[in-house]
Amino acid sequence: MTNDEGTQVPKEQAAEMTDALGLLAAKQEELASCIDRLKHLQADFENYKKRTAREMVAQEERVADRVILDFLPLYDNLERAFASLSETGDHEAFIEGVKQIAAQFEQILEQKGVSPIDATGRPFDPEYHEALLSVASETDCNTVLEEFERGYLRSGRVLRPCKVKVSKGAPEMKEEET
* pLDDT score of 15: 81
Average pLDDT of the segment spanning 5-12: 70
Distance linking the first and last C-alpha atoms of the chain:
122
Q: How confident is the model at residue 178 (pLDDT cuts 50, 70, 90)?
A: very low
pLDDT in tens, 77-117: 999 999 988 898 889 989 999 999 999 999 999 999 999 99
Do residues 119 and 151 lie in contact, with contact meaning Cβ atoms separated by under 8 Å? Answer: yes
pLDDT over 90 (residue 72): yes
pLDDT confidence bin for 2, thresholds 50/70/90: low
Contacts of 159 (CB under 8 A, 6+ apart): 114, 151, 152, 153
What are the Cα distances from residue 15, in Å, to 12, 19, 38, 58? 5, 6, 34, 64
Residue 4 pLDDT greater than 70, yes or no? no
Residue 44 neighbours by CB distance under 10 Å: 10
Which of 100 and 178 is assigned the larger pLDDT?
Answer: 100
pLDDT surpasses 80 at 6: no
- pLDDT cut 90: percent of the chain above it: 67
Residue 162 identity (one-letter amino acid): C
Q: At the top level of CATH, which class does the domain 115-171 belong to?
A: mainly beta
pLDDT for res 135: 92
* C-alpha R_g of the chain: 38
Please choose, from the candidates 99, 137, 105, the residue with its C-alpha nearest in 3D space to the C-alpha of residue 164: 137
Q: For the chain, where do the domains classified as CATH 2.30.22.10 start and end?
A: 115-171
Measuring CA to CA, how many Å separate 32 from each of 8, 38, 76?
33, 10, 66
The pLDDT value given to residue 11: 78
Give rounded-to-5 percent helix, strand, coil for the chain.
Answer: 55, 20, 25
pLDDT at 5 over 70: no
Number of H helices, E strands in the chain: 2, 6
Q: Which listed CATH number (1.10.12, 3.90.20, 3.30.70, 3.90.930) goes with 1-112?
A: 3.90.20
pLDDT per residue as tens digits for the range 147-176: 999 999 998 899 999 999 999 888 775 554
Query: Coil, strand or helix: which one is 48?
Result: helix
